[in-house]
Amino acid sequence: MVLLRCFAAILLLFTAGCSSMTPEQFDGREPRLLIEDYLAGETRAWGLFVDRFGNLRREFVVDITGTWDGKTLTLVEDFVYSDGEEQQRIWTINKLDDHRYEGTAADVIGTAEGVSYGNALNWRYTLALKVGDSIWNVHFDDWMFLQPDDVLMNRARVSKFGFDIGEVTIFFQKVPAQNAAALEGHSIAAE
C-alpha cells in the first residue's frame, strides 16, 4: 500500500510538472490584447532565434503592415535577417469569436489556431521552414503578451517531432503614422 501511494505521489508530481499555461489563465489582465487592433497599421519588431543549446543562430527585423476589415486581419510581414536574407510572409487571419482566431499563410501547413484572453494570445501552427537546402515542417507554439506603452512581447517554442529545436523571442512596437515612411529601407544589416 505504501508503495502504491509513493507511486501515485511521483505520478502526480510528474504530471504537474508537465502542465502548461493556458490562455484562459490571463482572462481579465490588462492591457487587453486584440491583435486586430494592435497589428492594424504599421508595426516594427526585433527578434532572434536561439537553438536548443542556447546558441544565438539568427537575428532579424520585421516591418508589418496590417489591415483589418471588421472580420479579417491581413498582415504583410517583411523580414530582414542579420545575414542580409529577406523574406515576406502574408497572413490572412479570421476572427472566429471574442477569443478565437484562425490564420493561413503560404508557408503555413494547414491552419494556424489562436486563442486570446486578457493581455495574452497563444498562436499555434506548423511552418514549412527553409533550413539549408531542405524544408523542415516545424511546430510553433507562440505566446504573445501585450505590455503597457504598446509593447508586445512574443516567445515561441519551436519543435519538430515533439522535440524542442529552439526558441524565437520578438518584441513589437507600434509605429506612429508620421514615422512609418522613415522606416522604409531601414534594416538590421544597416544597424
CA atoms of 157 and 143, how far apart (whole Å): 9
Which whole number is the average pLDDT over 134-153?
97
When mean pLDDT is compared across 17-21, 81-85, 154-158, 160-164, the lowest value belongs to 17-21
The stretch 41-46 carries a mean pLDDT of 98
- The model's pLDDT over 108-136, given as tens digits with 9 standing for 90+, comes to 999 999 999 999 999 999 999 988 899 99
For residue 178, what pLDDT is reported? 63
Per-chain mean pLDDT for the chain: 89
| Mean pLDDT (whole number) for 51-78 | 98
Question: Per-residue DSSP letters for 66-120?
Answer: EEE-SSEEEEEEEEEETTS-EEEEEEEEEE-SSSEEEEE-TTEEEEEEEEEETTE
All domains of the chain in start order, with CATH: 32-177 (2.40.128.20)
pTM of the entire predicted model: 0.83
Mean pLDDT, rounded, for 56-82: 98
3-state DSSP call for residue 8?
helix
Q: Hey, what amino acid is at 83?
A: D
pLDDT of residue 186: 54
Query: What pLDDT does residue 95 have?
Result: 98
User: Which position has the grid cell 472566429?
Assistant: 96
